[in-house]
Structure 1
Amino acid sequence: MSKKISIGAKPTTRAVPAAADAWVESRNAGEVVPMKRLTIDIPESLHRAIKGQCAMRGTKIADELREILVQKYGKS
């Protein structure tokens, strides 16, 4: 028994839309601050609670935690 699989057209080398280029260039339009990565271990239940709250507010966990850390330790 043979099975035929159709493969889509070969990708083209189309130019990237100007709007995409403008977005990439503008996303770092603000002050450039060097960043460092911080990894912590937290209980699964706490992670679930944080993730749920952030999802309801439509925010990212990293943004929320950054804000909390700035409130506690200030901006250096």
Structure 2
Amino acid sequence: MNKKVSFGVRPSVTRTSELDAEAWVADRATDEREPMKRLTIDIPAHLHRAIKTQCASRGTKIADELRELLLQKYGKS
């Protein structure tokens, strides 16, 4: 018994232009010279919800808010 499997048309590759890539990099660029390190923490769901709600109402990102709080606590040195 042979089973036939048909495959659809191969999807075309959509290439982004170099300008799109440059714009993406420029949007992500920061003026910081020091490399970034990732920090992962566990927090209670209610605290995450409160932080996310406040950040959304201000139009900011959670990472930016927390980074600022950490800089206030531990300084820029």
Fold-level similarity (TM above 0.5): yes
Q: Percent identity at matched positions?
A: 59
Amino acid at match of 1:69: L
Instruction: Find the residue that maps to 2:46 and give its secondary structure.
Output: helix
Going from structure 1 to structure 2, the CA distance change for 1:24 and 1:50 (only over 3 Å counts) comes to: same
For the aligned residue pairs, the C-alpha RMSD in angstroms reads: 2.3
Q: Over residues 10-63 of structure 1, what are the superposed CA-to-partner deviations in whole Å (9 max), with x where a residue is unaligned?
A: 42555x334313313424262332111111121111111001101111111111
Amino acid at match of 2:72: Q
**Correspondences of 1:22-41 after superposition (within 5 Å):** 22-26=22-26, 27-28=28-29, 30-41=31-42
**Correspondences of 1:1-76 after superposition (within 5 Å):** 10-12=11-13, 14=15, 16-26=16-26, 27-28=28-29, 30-76=31-77
Q: After the TM superposition, which parts of structure 1 deviate over 6 Å for at least 4 consecutive aligned residues? A: none
Gaps of 5+ in 2: 1-7
Gaps of 5+ in 1: 1-6
Amino acid at match of 1:68: L
- How many pairs align? 69
Going from structure 1 to structure 2, the CA distance change for 1:25 and 1:52 (only over 3 Å counts) comes to: closer
What's the TM-score once normalised by structure 2's chain length? 0.68
Going from structure 1 to structure 2, the CA distance change for 1:22 and 1:61 (only over 3 Å counts) comes to: same
**Corresponding residue of 1:3:** none
